[in-house]
């Protein structure tokens, strides 16, 4: 059965096997709003108790961080990465994550790899009360080189219209509050691979650096941090938020600053993690390029009225003031 199709690069037996493995993992994320069984052509999610809901959506990938994960044979963290990245994006609008869909594309299906990816996704979904409502695992022999794969994610959230966080609510003298990243998150990995010559010397990922107090691979594979659980209780004290991803601090922050206003950053208010200094030294990377590629230790920036600042700093212990909005 299906010998020619299998020889062409698509193994239907493995596809059915992996679906069975996914099912109990995915079901751990379901809640009372999930009203469709697995296996239908679409996932049903019942929206309850909203007066004037605004649907907020996001899609993303994990970039070439997956190349490092392939060298390290660590895939669980990538599943966390893709979900948390999308959660943080919709969170910047004040939205609660509702459901997530994944797309996994492979040259050849490796069951343990696919299982680890989906387990990571499910863990991050559970942490934020989000449903892993469906997905697609595609075997694309001929599109990807042997052993290569890619993942993407799609997330839908919701927020009451009058509670939207948006640039229109930002004003002069509002305060910028930073929250630390958990490393590089999911940006800058192509530069990192070049700096450390990882594609030619992947064993360098197993090297322990004194300044990191860990192997390079361990630090670079840390999952992207999700800010939803900590920030959900204080969303009413925030007027806008910026997720610091590709493009760096200023570029992402200016996406939520209205025309006519600017930002003043106190760069002396924090010291970027040692991994950033190591990358810069190892690759002789300019300050300008470092700050435009990496988050430099700041994963999320909250914008708040001055009257709420002390309350926020108290409720988010590792947060700090990084600057303010100016004219």
Q: Do 199 and 230 fall into the same domain?
A: yes
How far apart, in whole angstroms, are the C-alpha atoms of residue 247 and residue 111?
A: 35
Residues 146-178 have pLDDT tens digits of 999 999 999 999 999 999 999 999 999 999 999
Here the CATH number for the domain that contains residue 112 is 3.30.1330.10
Say which DSSP state 258 is in. Answer: P
Residue 25: its pLDDT value, please? 98
Q: Which string of b and e fits 93-109 if b means at least 16 CB within 10 Å?
A: bbbbbbbbbbbbbbbbb
Do residues 15 and 137 lie in contact, with contact meaning Cβ atoms separated by under 8 Å?
A: yes
| pTM: predicted TM-score of the whole model, two decimal places | 0.96
Q: Do 44 and 72 fall into the same domain?
A: yes
Do residues 180 and 126 lie in contact, with contact meaning Cβ atoms separated by under 8 Å?
A: no
pLDDT > 90 in the chain, percent: 96
Q: Do 137 and 211 fall into the same domain?
A: no
Here the CATH number for the domain that contains residue 253 is 3.90.650.10
How far apart, in whole angstroms, are the C-alpha atoms of residue 273 and residue 278?
A: 9
Q: Do 9 and 154 fall into the same domain?
A: yes
Q: Do 8 and 152 fall into the same domain?
A: yes
Q: Do 147 and 102 fall into the same domain?
A: yes
Q: Do 92 and 240 fall into the same domain?
A: no
Q: Do 144 and 20 fall into the same domain?
A: yes
Q: Do 189 and 147 fall into the same domain?
A: no
Q: Which residues pair with 309 in a beta bridge?
A: none
Do residues 253 and 241 lie in contact, with contact meaning Cβ atoms separated by under 8 Å?
A: no
In this model, does residue 1 exceed pLDDT 90? Answer: no
Last residue of a domain, one of 124, 144, 163: 163
Domain range enclosing 84: 3-163
How many CA atoms does the CB half-sphere of 235 hold within 13 Å? Answer: 20
Tell me the average pLDDT of the chain: 96
Last residue of a domain, one of 138, 163, 188: 163
Domain count, the chain: 2
Q: What pLDDT band is residue 2 in, cutting at 50, 70 and 90?
A: low
Residue 3: its pLDDT value, please? 82
Residues 30-75 have pLDDT tens digits of 999 999 998 899 999 999 999 999 999 999 999 999 999 999 999 9
Q: Do 214 and 235 fall into the same domain?
A: yes
Average pLDDT (237-261) is: 97
């Amino acid at each position: 059965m299906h010998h020619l199709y299998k020889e062409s690069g698509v193994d239907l037996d493995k596809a059915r096997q992996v679906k069975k493995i996914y099912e109990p993992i995915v079901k751990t994320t379901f809640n009372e709003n999930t009203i469709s069984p697995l296996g239908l052509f679409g996932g049903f999610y019942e929206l309850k108790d909203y007066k004037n809901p605004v649907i907020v959506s996001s899609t993303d990938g994990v970039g070439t961080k997956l190349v490092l994960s392939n060298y390290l044979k660590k895939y669980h963290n990538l599943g966390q990465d893709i979900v948390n990245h999308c959660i943080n994006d919709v969170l910047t609008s004040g939205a609660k994550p509702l459901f997530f869909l994944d797309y996994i594309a492979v040259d050849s299906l490796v069951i343990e790899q696919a299982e680890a990816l989906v387990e990571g996704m499910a863990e991050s979904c559970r942490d934020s009360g989000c449903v892993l409502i469906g997905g697609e695992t595609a075997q694309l022999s001929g599109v990807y080189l042997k052993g290569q794969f890619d993942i993407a994610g799609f997330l839908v959230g919701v927020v009451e219209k009058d509670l939207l966080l948006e640039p229109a609510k930002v004003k002069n003298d509002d305060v910028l509050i930073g929250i630390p990243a958990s490393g590089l998150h999911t940006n800058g990995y192509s530069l990192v691979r070049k700096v450390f010559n990882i594609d030619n010397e992947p064993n360098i990922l197993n090297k322990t650096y004194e300044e990191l107090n860990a192997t390079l691979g361990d630090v670079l594979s840390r999952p992207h941090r999700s800010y939803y659980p900590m920030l959900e209780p204080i969303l009413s004290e925030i007027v806008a938020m910026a997720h610091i991803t590709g493009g760096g601090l200023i570029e992402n922050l200016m996406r939520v600053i209205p025309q006519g206003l600017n930002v003043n950053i106190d760069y002396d208010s924090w010291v970027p993690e040692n991994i950033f200094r190591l990358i810069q030294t190892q690759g002789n990377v300019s300050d300008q390029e470092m700050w435009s590629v990496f988050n430099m230790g700041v994963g999320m920036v909250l914008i708040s009225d001055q009257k709420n600042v002390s309350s926020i700093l108290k409720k988010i212990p590792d947060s700090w003031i990084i600057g303010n909005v100016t004219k």
